[in-house]
Amino acid sequence: MPDQTLVEVAGLSKRFGDVEVLKHVDLAVRAGEKLAVIGPSGSGKTTLLRCIAHLEKPSAGHVTIAGERVGSKLADGRVVEMSDREIARIRTGIGMVFQRFNLFPHLTALENILLGPLKVLRMPREQAEPIALGLLAKVGLAHKRDAYPERLSGGQQQRVAIARSLAMQPKLMLFDEATSALDPELVGEVLNVIRQLAREGMTMLIVTHEMQFAEDVADRIIVMDHGSIVDEGPPHELFRSPSHPRTQAFLRAVLERQAMATSSAA
């Protein structure tokens, strides 16, 4: 079934104290789909991603991945909390790439990638190492296998972080502003790795400020504002002829900022 839903978000709300960051969000992502999430800062994009990974506990609603509820389950007709172990098992199927990379600083690039396969999947080292080395080569960093994160550039760290996620063979990859913390000249190398993953058919949710990239790589784009999805559609429609006023305003602001950046750089 080509249109199989991999991720389903139903009535998802999240509040931090008095602030409602997500307001009853519904969303379905098909297996193999590349979904870009755009919108102004504070619109709830990152929180949506974090709720899908269950790094945040939803205040209401729920997330289903491959037919399985994340964080809670039905037992005897009642909804009960999942144990730490059950949530961890579900998370092995989800890769997440963070804005701040979050590589493990006490481990080399190779060891960062190996940690999950060795400790979580309990793979023997002689089986895990070729896989890890293959992933390092895939992100173009085979020569950095023994480098510690502090010796790597931001772009290299982020590529190792992507390889670390891939080592768990996830069904779904979440990118949380993966290039926002990078110097402009390092953005391209990370985007290229993500593009390659997209071509290989990985299902992904990409929160990004790179509009050109979103347009290139995504099958569908959703626009968030104030905790709700205000617009969605295929990239060419959304960018060429944005119908929703919020989308128009957001795109205009982004274009102005880019124009300013270009003119000040010139």
Partner 1 sequence: MSPDPWIRAYDLLPEMLAVLLTGAVTTVEVTVGGFVLAVLFGLLFAVLQTVPARPARVLAGLYVEVFRGVPVLTQLFVLYFGLAEFGIRLHPLTAAVLGFGLNGGAYLTEVFRAGIGAVHQGQLEAAFMIGMTRLMGLRHVVLPQAIRVVLPPLGNFAVGLLKDTSLASAVAAPELAFRARTLVDQTYLSTQVYLLSAAIYLAMSLPLAHLTRRLEVRMGRGNP
Binding site for partner 1 (CB under 8 A): 53, 55, 84-85, 88-89, 91-92, 94-96, 98, 100, 102-106, 115-116, 119-121, 148, 150, 161, 164-165, 167-168
Q: Which residue's CB is nearer to partner 1, number 91 or number 246?
A: 91
Taking the C-alpha atoms of 4, 220, 187 and 165 in order, what is their torsion angle to the nearest 10 degrees? Answer: -10
Shortest Cβ distance from residue 120 to partner 1 (Å)?
4
Q: How far is the CB of 244 from partner 1 (least distance, A)?
A: 33
Contact 181, 143 (CB under 8 A): no
Give the type of residue at 172.
L
CB of 78 vs partner 1, minimal distance in Å: 20
Strand pairing class (60-65; 68-69)? antiparallel
Q: How far is the CB of 36 from partner 1 (least distance, A)?
A: 20
Nearest approach in angstroms of CB 2 to partner 1 is: 28
Task: Work out how close the CB of 141 gets to partner 1 at its nearest, in angstroms, rounded to a whole number.
Answer: 17
- Indicate the residue among 55 and 230 with the shorter CB distance to partner 1: 55
- Which residue lies nearer to partner 1 by CB, 48 or 221? 48
Nearer to partner 1, 144 or 164 (CB): 164
**Alpha helices by DSSP H, the chain:** 45-52, 84-91, 109-115, 125-138, 154-166, 184-199, 211-217, 235-240, 245-265
Q: Tell me if residue 39 falls in helix, strand or coil.
A: coil
Query: Nearer Cβ to partner 1, position 60 or 88?
Result: 88
Nearest residue to 31 via CA among 166, 199, 203, 196:
203
187-207 residues labelled b (16+ CB within 10 A) or e (exposed): bebbbebbeebbeeebbbbbb
Shortest Å, Cβ 39 to partner 1? 22
Q: Which is nearer to partner 1, 87 or 254 (CB)?
A: 87
Instruction: Tally the C-alpha atoms within 13 A of residue 230's C-alpha that lie toward its C-beta.
Output: 20
* Residue 209 vs residues 48, 183, 192, 260: alpha-carbon distances, Å: 16, 14, 16, 15
Reference 144, options 179, 103, 202, 182; nearest CA is 103
Which lies closer to partner 1 via its Cβ, residue 104 or residue 239?
Answer: 104
